């Protein structure tokens, strides 16, 4: 975190010449290996050179527990770093359904202890917390409770990094986050703007994603800490998720996917920030079932951002 603070200070001094360091974070959805008819295997299908960060998504809290199957996947995930020493791996814990019980001091301590145990066991470089306050939350101090939890986590992680997956919806942001306070303890903010812009015919127009990124920055997050969410998948009827490798099975009228032009414009916009986060590795066309090769979305972003 000290390195990020130093970088932010240098950029403030030489703002005209200093650009944010670019990251390409990729989500691996551990519960989605068997979506559709195209099974996904960590060691076979993840290219360790493709992303700068890979997020193992996600575990549930209170306390975090692992099955033997999950432990084997942890080991496979850790093995990815053997072929790319610069790769950073993050373990994601989803607090979105934990309710206010997670903020009770005793529960918080149990949660933190179990999380750290799994970070060590899986040789993860960082922890990612996914959370937004529930829409019916009546706790007036919910922002402060969450900021306190994050501050405590930050102090317990030692050299490991701490990131947050935060909502891109304005109402969620207003209800959930004391942004300036969180910025002091968080290394990366992954803005979950994957599905907030699906209506424009102009590939350069993604108003909601832009607005969310600008909101977090204006409220105190340095640009180099902000990564914008881009979906590798598409949407069908009633918002059903369609993996990219099934795109050829549908007409443009049946599903919505970000076009190559839209992805290019989003990458260009994100160059002013810390990069992008893509959801998800196993929802892209990871083994080239279509005509655009392996990982057409993530590879395009890799070529734009990391090379």
Per-residue pLDDT tens over the stretch 78-121: 999 999 999 999 999 999 888 888 999 999 999 999 999 999 98
Superfamily of domain 20-305: Glycosidases (3.20.20.80)
pTM: 0.92
> Is the CA virtual torsion 45, 51, 52, 54 positive or negative?
negative
Residue pLDDT, tens place only, 44-67: 999 999 999 999 999 887 556 677
Range name among 16-30, 161-175, 183-197, 244-258 with the lowest pLDDT average: 16-30
Average pLDDT over residues 123-150: 92
Rounding to the nearest 10 degrees, give the CA dihedral for residues 72, 73, 76, 77: -140
The alpha carbon of residue 124 and the mean position of all alpha carbons in its chain are separated, in whole angstroms, by: 15
Mean pLDDT of 202-215: 97
With b for 16 or more beta-carbon neighbours within 10 A and e for fewer, the 5-18 pattern comes to eebbeebeeeeeee
């Amino acid at each position: 975190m000290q390195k990020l603070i130093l970088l932010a200070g240098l950029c403030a001094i030489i703002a005209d010449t200093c650009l944010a360091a670019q990251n390409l974070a990729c989500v691996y959805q551990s519960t989605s290996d068997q979506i559709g008819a195209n099974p996904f295997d960590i060691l076979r299908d993840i290219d360790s050179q493709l992303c700068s960060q890979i997020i193992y998504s996600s575990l549930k809290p209170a306390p975090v527990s692992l099955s033997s199957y999950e432990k084997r996947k942890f080991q496979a995930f850790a093995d990815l770093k053997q072929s790319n020493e610069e790769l950073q791996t993050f373990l994601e814990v989803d607090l979105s359904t934990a309710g206010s019980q997670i903020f009770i001091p005793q529960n918080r301590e149990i949660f933190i202890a179990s999380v750290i145990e799994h970070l060590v066991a899986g040789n993860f470089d960082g922890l990612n917390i996914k959370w937004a306050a529930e829409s019916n939350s009546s706790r007036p101090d919910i922002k402060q409770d969450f900021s306190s939890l994050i501050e405590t986590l930050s102090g317990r992680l030692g050299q490991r990094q701490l990131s947050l997956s935060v909502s891109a919806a304005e109402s969620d942001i207003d209800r959930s986050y004391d942004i300036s306070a969180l910025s002091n303890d968080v290394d990366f903010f992954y803005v979950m703007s994957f599905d907030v812009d699906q209506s424009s015919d102009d590939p350069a127009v993604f108003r909601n994603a832009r607005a969310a990124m600008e909101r977090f920055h204006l409220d105190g997050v340095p640009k180099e800490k902000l990564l914008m969410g881009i979906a590798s998948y598409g949407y069908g009827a009633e918002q059903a998720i369609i993996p990219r490798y099934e795109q050829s099975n549908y007409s443009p009228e049946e599903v919505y996917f970000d076009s190559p032009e839209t992805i290019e414009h989003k990458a260009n916009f994100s160059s002013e920030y810390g990069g992008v986060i893509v959801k998800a590795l196993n929802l892209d066309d990871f083994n080239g079932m279509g005509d655009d090769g392996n990982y057409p979305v993530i590879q395009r972003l890799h070529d734009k951002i990391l090379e």
